[in-house]
Structure 1
Amino acid sequence: MPAQTVATVIVAAGRGLRAGGGVPKQWRDLAGRPVLARTLDAFAGLGPVCLVLHPDDIGRAPEIEARAEMIVPGGADRAASVRAGLEALAATSPGKVLIHDAARPLVMAETIEAVIAALDHHPAAAPGLAITDALWRVADGHVGGTVPREGLVRAQTPQGFRFDSILAAHRRYEGPSAADDVAVAQAAGLDVALVPGHEDNMKITGPGDFARAARILGTDMDVRTGNGFDVHAFGPGDHVWLCGVKVEHGQGLVGHSDADVGMHALTDAIYGAMAHGDIGQHFPPSDPEWKGARSEVFLAHAADLARVEGFAVTHCDVTLICERPKIGPHAQAMREELARIMQIEPARVSVKATTSERLGFTGREEGIAAIATATLVKS
């Protein structure tokens, strides 16, 4: 079958709160990027992707969802969610379909390719790993006996199927809640071929799994650091924009845009980390389109560009240098606003201030300066 007939259903509709963090595990950060973004990366370019999300999560991260051709709401359990994805793909009728758990973001290309290749000769295929540890049966906290491990494997995803066969199997399935799609296929009498799995294709379930996954990713990471500096003079006005927050003040800041000196410095730091110049190159001050523009436009562009190139903004630090206005009362709001614009967690954003001890132009209250540092990671 030609490669273009391969479609993928990525199941990300679960709540996954056992992993901690207060949000479903597929939305949590893993080494600078959401788990779900990493999972989508693994299937990029194979064919259409149908992403199955919890109804409450649709629209949560448009830049991630945009990477799937279809978004559908999940059902009451995994099987219902998978069926929803398969039904959405039915109109395109792909020859093969891969069904993968969003919580397995480290699946390797070799595993995916092995599953696809096996479908040339079998109606279904799935990766598995031989069990090498002893297996015990436990009762009341005590070992009650040993279970033979011969012939047992640990199941992984993606599980692959000829599309028409697995769709028909899901439509007919009336048994107990299925652990996976292989169970649905076997109930329909489909032969399932086994292909080699991989130890790194782990399923994130508990809090410790994030640390293990980060260690695996840490073997191949591209870490960049960029710096930014900006200055704006005071002029007429009754407020200033600083790090996206309107702060009442006896003067305004003069600039072609809204003169948000903190956001400008941070934007340049992100561009610098990627070696993509500065704001002036992307938004020339000679262009009247940007006259009075909100600096949010610039920062969002830099953060989006980083994501497109596979980088995550893992941390940024902004220091505002001025005598007045006082920054402390507004620092938390500034952190949250910068985080919102960059679509990262506020815990990854620092905003602080210092004075120049009445020295220089900031000491004379002629303007405000800002310096920023941004760390980007690609893995």
Structure 2
Amino acid sequence: MPSGAPLPRSTPPVPASPCVALIVAGGSGQRFGAERPKQYLDVLGAPILRRTVLAFLRHPQISGVRVVIDPAWRAEYDRAVAGLDLPEPVAGGATRQDSVRNGLEALAADSPTPIPTPARVLIHDAARPLIDPATITAVIAALDDAPGAIAAVPVTDTLKRGADGLVASTVERTGLWRAQTPQGFRFDAILHAHRAAAGLGLTDDAAVAEQAGLSVRLIPATEDNFKVTTPDDLTRAARVLMAGLGDVRTGTGFDVHRFTDGDFVTLCGLRVPHDKGLDGHSDADVGLHALTDALLGAIAAGDIGSHFPPSDPQWRGADSARFLRHAADLVAERGGIIAHVDVTIVCERPKVGPHRAAMAARIAEILGIALDRVSVKATTTERLGFTGRGEGIAAQAAATVRLPG
């Protein structure tokens, strides 16, 4: 923007229009003290960033989501958003203000693809995964007659100003609010404001808007929309999520595969040496197939064949971990968590006992859940039936998930 160019100080009302969410995930999270930035840590089996992104992707008034990251953590970003339909992330800057400006410039440069330049933008901290749909809606609605609006909560505690570890004075709290995100703006106005404020070191986008003379409306939000900053906050986020997951579902699955020529079988994600193989279109992993069906059944999402048809050649010889991960992603996309899974392998041979611990660990890894939420067992049919005759292997599974409700 040319030096001395006029800044938009107020703009006329605009009609409802596309709104993009810009998720700021470029911070290092030094205060948290973890080996990786907090936005990539898991809470109840899903990365914080993934939960944040999904909150906006699911909102009917959000037309697109773009994430600003530190490129040094690109591998963690890719893990966190795997399977989500997102455009290429934007490289952040030295400060949060720089990162947001980079994101806004990327949105402006993208027009008309992959996301057309929006009329409105919501800027949100990646480390606030508990943002609720009502607050998003209220911030967007406020932009009908104001150039800016932010989620915030009024200060209710008595405030003290300290000096040398002692109380120096009491601060009047009337009219004070704690700013949160999302902070929403008419796109052109906040882009110009950020360009003009480069280098000022402002702590949030509302401050950038204020610097430009833009009016910013306060939108009452909830205490649950807190920013994960410390390990205690991560525990608190887990408690909040669990409290909202009151719809408990159970699904079951069953699968069978016959023996064929070979020198190993794949069971629960492991290659187990045997004098035969298992016949199947994929890797014939009866344990993971049964568990995939159990998860799909818990959320009423069909069965494994409807998602991965055996008539489709792309699944020939496929690793069944892909099928199970897909089912887990569907649970996460519903805002749910996997509470527990239980698999029972039915066969005379090979012996499952020596491999049970490794099988449980592999399932926990695929699902992204704690090992104590996975059970793997084995039994025989006392030499009765096709498994007793050594003709094949069967598996049954049960899965418990918790969904919002």
Equivalent position of 1:373 in the other structure: 398
Q: What CA distance in whole angstroms lies between the structure 1 residues aligned with 2:84 and 2:28?
A: 17
Q: Cα distance, 1:150 vs. partner?
A: 2.5
Q: What CA distance in whole angstroms lies between the structure 1 residues aligned with 2:348 and 2:21?
A: 56
Number of paired residues? 377
Is 1:122–2:156 an aligned residue pair?
A: no
The answer (yes or no) to whether the contact 1:316–1:348 under 8 Å persists in 2 is: no
- What amino acid sits opposite 1:28 in the alignment? L
Which structure 1 segments of 5+ residues have no match? none
Q: What CA distance in whole angstroms lies between the structure 1 residues aligned with 2:308 and 2:193?
A: 54
Q: Deviations over 1:196-245 (max 9, x none)?
A: 23223222222222343344342453222212233434443211111222
Q: Cα distance, 1:28 vs. partner?
A: 3.2
| Secondary structure at 2:272 match in 1 | strand
Q: Deviations over 1:48-84 (max 9, x none)?
A: 2221122123422343642x44521222221121111
One of 43, 64, 68 as aligned partner of 1:30: 43
Q: Cα distance, 1:88 vs. partner?
A: 0.9
Equivalent position of 1:88 in the other structure: 106
Q: What CA distance in whole angstroms lies between the structure 2 residues aligned with 1:190 and 1:221?
A: 42
Shift in CA distance, 154/322, structure 1 to aligned 2, threshold 3 Å: same
Residues 60-71 of structure 1: pairs in structure 2 closer than 5 A: 60-63=79-82, 65-66=84-85, 68-69=86-87, 71=89
Q: Cα distance, 1:246 vs. partner?
A: 1.8
Q: Cα distance, 1:130 vs. partner?
A: 1.7
- What amino acid sits opposite 1:244 in the alignment? G
Q: What CA distance in whole angstroms lies between the structure 1 residues aligned with 2:260 and 2:158?
A: 75
- What amino acid sits opposite 1:375 in the alignment? T
Q: Deviations over 1:136-188 (max 9, x none)?
A: 23345444432222332111111122222221222222445321112222233
Is 1:14–2:27 an aligned residue pair?
A: yes
Q: Equivalent pairs: percent with the same residue?
A: 54
| Secondary structure at 2:78 match in 1 | coil
Equivalent position of 1:238 in the other structure: 263
Q: What CA distance in whole angstroms lies between the structure 1 residues aligned with 2:47 and 2:400?
A: 16
Is 1:75–2:88 an aligned residue pair?
A: no
- What amino acid sits opposite 2:79 in the alignment? R
- What amino acid sits opposite 1:130 in the alignment? P
Residues 296-307 of structure 1: pairs in structure 2 closer than 5 A: 296-307=321-332
Equivalent position of 2:284 in the other structure: 259
Which structure 2 segments of 5+ residues have no match? 1-13, 112-116
| Secondary structure at 1:199 match in 2 | coil
Shift in CA distance, 283/110, structure 1 to aligned 2, threshold 3 Å: closer
Equivalent position of 1:110 in the other structure: 134
Residues 203-352 of structure 1: pairs in structure 2 closer than 5 A: 203-217=227-241, 218-283=243-308, 292-322=317-347, 324-327=349-352, 330-331=355-356, 333-335=358-360, 337-339=362-364, 341-342=366-367, 344-345=368-369, 347=371, 350=374, 352=376
Q: Cα distance, 1:266 vs. partner?
A: 1.0
Task: Tell me how large the CA RMSD over aligned residues is.
Answer: 3.2
TM-score (norm 1): 0.84
Is 1:152–2:176 an aligned residue pair?
A: yes
Q: Deviations over 1:77-96 (max 9, x none)?
A: 21121111100111344222
| Secondary structure at 2:201 match in 1 | coil
Equivalent position of 2:64 in the other structure: 48
Deviates more, 1:321-330 or 1:225-234: 321-330
Q: Cα distance, 1:284 vs. partner?
A: 5.5
- What amino acid sits opposite 1:199 in the alignment? E
Shift in CA distance, 225/18, structure 1 to aligned 2, threshold 3 Å: farther
TM-score (norm 2): 0.79
Q: What CA distance in whole angstroms lies between the structure 2 residues aligned with 1:226 and 1:377?
A: 11
The answer (yes or no) to whether the contact 1:5–1:96 under 8 Å persists in 2 is: yes
